[in-house]
Structure 1
């Protein structure tokens, strides 16, 4: 099972570098860089929450991701920092999006949810200008946090690149990342494949394999792993041979330490240092996405096998 081996090694790397996801003193600074503070922590929380739900408690990986999730929650002072962030940036959506990842796993802060509900009822919140995919994500974050979504999913979906069923040859990097997140939002990050409308499911089943092959050929490992997560989130995944080939190629790109670069290969990496062959910012997201996609793939494989079919991992 190529996916399982990739997942175990990638999770080893994440656990070994857990402290790199910790929030520093600049987490609440006015000039702080959100992409270097809250973004990595939020992505760690989301991946661990999804893997925790989809992995049986008897699986050793379940305990490991639960420990990581507890660590991430402690970094927020058990949710207190979300209240502070909202007082500093009332109409920023990223605090709610990060919080939603924790809320989906049962980590709640009633005080923050009550405060967020007040802001979410304002016209200013509803009228914040966002890319269509981001708006869909905010609506999903509202729902997972116990708030009333400020819009309707079908209307928001229609405004996204994927929702318009575009010509397949218009696929490129930005469109790829947009479509993966549309699927993540529609399926609660892989938990509910039936959340993908039939027309989108048919479209993706037909075109996802060649797009995935293109990204793998270009050694775009981060996007490739996201596409593999999408494949495992569809009501009917692609052919088993397509998935097994893709996972073998991802496994070949994985460094011995478990890290996977966003792009390129180990030959392109700098000489190994204290932190491994890649800078943390160059591999943490792709390595997390490998854990996420592999966990979904393994779970779907088990489901399909129980139904009398077979999807390799």
Structure 2
């Protein structure tokens, strides 16, 4: 990767974070966040995704870096939206066996933002059979197990066994890859690696499988203008034990940059209406813009690690990222 290539990645990440900062009020929870008929996907989900991305960017960039400082500011904003964690106990009382409050809270906990009262309450709930027997698909189950560990909850369930029941864990025929499988596999890797902090946590057979097939899948998604999934796949490429192929990054990032709006927003999907100053509404670009910021930070981290190792080729990644 040339300095120009690296600069382009940074520019995409910086523009994405600038858009997120300018639109932070659209992530606000609002009065419906605790309503009995509240729309979780329009309230808690965007805020949780903002927190997760910003915690990840902070973990992969040093303090003082503009990317880090913008992400840290947005993370503090997201924490304030939860009343410094006070809303989590209230949410848990309203929905005792819902896992999404813990999943979102665990993001803040991973960044050192904790509410001990909530952790005590949810640990009590997690000891019930009702909590342990909640039916979830394997990818979601991995995420819940990760959230529990972040909040100090330990149980005997084997995450390795759960992994082998996911699409990725079964090493499926590569031609069966499609959109839903793509999102499932990216989140499996996110959960395994603690959102890119621990690349060596990916089992060797999965790492080899992804190293072989992911470039082709990424190219397919880029050709289809699936910018959201393309960015998630770039995160995965930079979260494996071996650093990503420079040629894969060199081919992908100009296409992501070309799809990004002047404002910094990245459409979820290519669409003929976008362009000439027009951009998608918040719900159709916030997640892809978050993923562009995350992918940029993760790729920059791995490229920096490679340069620090003093090699131009592949090597085993020995770092664990900057602690969150």
- Residue number in structure 2 paired with 1:28: 34
Q: 4+ residue runs of structure 1 moved beyond 6 angstroms? A: none
Residue 43 of structure 1 pairs with residue 45 of structure 2:
no
Q: In structure 1, what is the Cα distance between the partners aligned to 2:39 and 2:312?
A: 45
Equivalent residue for 1:126, pick from 112, 116, 132: 132
Q: Number of matched residues?
A: 308
How far 1:149 sits from its partner (Å)? Answer: 3.9
| 2:267–2:279 Cα contact (<8 Å) kept | no
CA offsets, 1:213-236, max 9 Å, x none?
Answer: 000000000000000000010011
Q: In structure 1, what is the Cα distance between the partners aligned to 2:261 and 2:275?
A: 13
- Residue number in structure 2 paired with 1:268: 273
| 2:54–2:71 Cα contact (<8 Å) kept | yes
Q: TM-score, normalised by structure 1?
A: 0.96
Q: In structure 2, what is the Cα distance between the partners aligned to 1:78 and 1:220?
A: 35
| 1:27–1:34 Cα contact (<8 Å) kept | yes
Q: In structure 1, what is the Cα distance between the partners aligned to 2:30 and 2:231?
A: 28
Q: In structure 2, what is the Cα distance between the partners aligned to 1:237 and 1:246?
A: 15
Q: How does 1:227-238 map to 2 (within 5 A)?
A: 227-238=233-244
- Residue number in structure 2 paired with 1:180: 186
CA offsets, 1:90-127, max 9 Å, x none?
Answer: 00000000001100000000000000000111111111
SS in 1 for 2:62: coil
How far 1:291 sits from its partner (Å)? Answer: 0.2
| 1:240–1:310 Cα contact (<8 Å) kept | no
| More displaced 10-residue stretch of structure 1: 33-42 or 49-58 | 49-58
- Residue number in structure 2 paired with 1:284: 286
- Residue number in structure 2 paired with 1:116: 122
Against the structure 1 CA distance between its residues 239 and 271, is the aligned structure 2 distance closer, same or farther, given a 3 Å change threshold?
A: closer
CA offsets, 1:170-200, max 9 Å, x none?
Answer: 0000000000000000000000000100000
RMSD of Structure 2 on Structure 1 (CA): 1.4
Q: In structure 1, what is the Cα distance between the partners aligned to 2:86 and 2:145?
A: 22
| More displaced 10-residue stretch of structure 1: 109-118 or 233-242 | 233-242
SS in 1 for 2:285: helix
| 2:261–2:275 Cα contact (<8 Å) kept | no
How far 1:268 sits from its partner (Å)? Answer: 2.2
Q: In structure 2, what is the Cα distance between the partners aligned to 1:10 and 1:35?
A: 21
Q: In structure 2, what is the Cα distance between the partners aligned to 1:144 and 1:243?
A: 31
| 2:225–2:269 Cα contact (<8 Å) kept | yes
Q: How does 1:151-162 map to 2 (within 5 A)?
A: 151-162=157-168
Q: In structure 2, what is the Cα distance between the partners aligned to 1:156 and 1:49?
A: 26
Equivalent residue for 1:211, pick from 213, 217, 220: 217
Q: In structure 2, what is the Cα distance between the partners aligned to 1:4 and 1:238?
A: 16
Against the structure 1 CA distance between its residues 62 and 25, is the aligned structure 2 distance closer, same or farther, given a 3 Å change threshold?
A: same
How far 1:271 sits from its partner (Å)? Answer: 7.8
Q: In structure 1, what is the Cα distance between the partners aligned to 2:282 and 2:124?
A: 37
How far 1:5 sits from its partner (Å)? Answer: 1.1
Q: In structure 2, what is the Cα distance between the partners aligned to 1:163 and 1:287?
A: 28
Equivalent residue for 2:58, pick from 44, 52, 61: 52
| Structure 1 gap segments, 5+ residues each | none
- Residue number in structure 2 paired with 1:295: 297
| More displaced 10-residue stretch of structure 1: 56-65 or 129-138 | 56-65
Q: TM-score, normalised by structure 2?
A: 0.93
